[in-house]
Amino acid sequence: MEFPCKDFKVGKCEGQKLVDGEMMPMVLLPPVADKADLESLVSALKKNNDWFEQMIIKNSAVLLRQPMCTKGCGPPMKDPSSELTYYHHEMILIKESPMKLVLFCEMPPPGGGETPFVPRFKETEGMLEFPEAVEEMEKKGLKYTFTALSKNDMSSMRGRASPTPKRLSSNLRSEICCRTNALGMDMEWLPNGGVKIVLGPRSTTRVFDGRKGRRMLFNTVVGMHGKEHTSALMADGTEIPDNVVRRCGEFIEEESMQFKWEKGDVLFFDSLALLHGRGPSKPPRRVLVATSSNLDYVSLVVCVFL
């Protein structure tokens, strides 16, 4: 069948997989190599905006591969990239997490540092092994807790990446509480300067418009269950069975796919349909991210490039 867009051509990358008849990620290339600059990309995206949005929802992940980084690279990311960032939906802990995620590779790592991703509707099929447990989780909802450490406590990546300022005025504390509550979280200040956050009830699976009626596992149970600083329970406090959580983790590993970053790659995710993570990386690495539900992909591309 003829490819219906003249402004891109279809390419390939190592690691892509055919999932339910769609290639993930779908790889798109500029029609000619010398059209691989930001201006040409933005103009092609604007011209084909509706088609491009549909392509991302249909394939869940689209990789634009073009050596087009025309600006100088900024410094490598400061986060501890030697550590694994476990699979997650972007910002799933807030009430309505963003639908669109764009990643731009400005500085590919010399080793590791991939962005593995997992289609969640495939995992849902696997969860049919546990119909009673899933039904109970659906019915009761889920509750998560996490403890954000104080600035002085650097024993976890969360503490190092998101330190809590040591001293906060009571006005600032109450402002933080208001904003956190607006995002659907309850918070409690701890004597050591950290905070404990409780969220729930939250759903176990969701069906989003326009995605073939697919039921997505839309939770962060595997990432938070039974960890030192986080927990995931059913909303009434019932434990989620260990074997269910373990098998969910296995499904994630089984269905995961990844490719090697190249300079100039722009990756578009339907974040409602995919989990993503970050593999441990050798430095330096610089992959920039923009996310939104309301902005179109052209605006997000401009965000990651500026």
Nearest approach in angstroms of CB 290 to Fe ion is 12
Residues between 139 and 178 that touch Fe ion (CB under 5 A): none
Give, as ranges, the residues between 31 and 90 that touch Fe ion (CB under 5 A).
90
**CB closer to Fe ion, 90 vs 123:** 90
Interface characters, 197-226, with Fe ion (x: CB under 5 A)? ------------------------------
Cβ-based nearer residue to Fe ion, 90 or 270: 90
Which residue minimizes CB distance to Fe ion?
90
| Smaller CB separation from Fe ion, 90 or 255 | 90
Q: How many residues bind Fe ion (CB under 5 A)?
A: 1
The nearer residue to Fe ion, 161 or 207, going by C-beta atoms, is 161
Nearest-angstrom CA–CA distance, 194 and 183: 19
Alpha carbons 232 and 145: distance in angstroms, whole number: 7
Mark residues 88-107: x for contact with Fe ion by CB under 5 A, - for none. Answer: --x-----------------
Q: Which is nearer to Fe ion, 93 or 134 (CB)?
A: 93
CB of 252 to Fe ion, least distance (A): 15
- Give min distance, CB of 88 to Fe ion, in A: 6
**Whose Cβ is closer to Fe ion: residue 90's or residue 153's?**
90
CB of 10 to Fe ion, least distance (A): 27
Residues that bind Fe ion (CB under 5 A): 90
